[in-house]
Amino acid sequence: MSWFHNINVVSHNVSDWERAKKFYSEVLDWPVAYANDEVGWMEWGEENKTHISINRWEGPDPLPLNGGATLVLGVDDPHAVTAALRAKGVRCDDVTHIPGVVLYGTFYDPDGNRLQFVGGNA
């Protein structure tokens, strides 16, 4: 038996706290689950489901690129999601199709953290 039941949260460090909060709350329009400006931690997601969070980076070392984690989200149509994100000014790679395996898209938050989504017909 594993000690772990599920993924609770995937977290990224961010250099610009206000810009990151706006990106996740307004551009992606995710529901806020928890916010604490004093400690620099904010989470988005629904109750009893995996959350994504940001952590305010205060150094002294440089901000770690990609935070060592990639969040992968499920979608119905990766091409439509890519188009919608690009229309909002979000940097996106072209959708990747590995026939018979996966169809996925990649996009980036304002700090360059990579996020991905998967769906559609492989």
CATH at residue 108: 3.10.180.10
Mean pLDDT for all residues in the chain: 87
Q: Is the pLDDT of residue 1 over 60?
A: no
Could you give the CA distance from residue 47 to residue 122 in angstroms, rounded to a whole number? 30
1 lies in a domain?
Answer: no
pLDDT score at 71: 81
Q: Which is it for strands 9-14 and 32-36: parallel, antiparallel or unpaired? A: unpaired
pLDDT score at 110: 92
- CA 94 vs. chain centroid, Å, equals 17
DSSP class of residue 43 equals E
CB 112 within 8 Å of CB 62: no
Domain limits for position 14: 9-119
Report the alpha-carbon angle 70-109-121, nearest 5: 55
Least trusted range by pLDDT, from 4-13, 39-48, 102-111: 4-13
Report the alpha-carbon angle 80-85-86, nearest 5: 100
pLDDT score at 3: 57
- At 15, the pLDDT band (50, 70, 90 cuts) reads confident
4 lies in a domain?
Answer: no
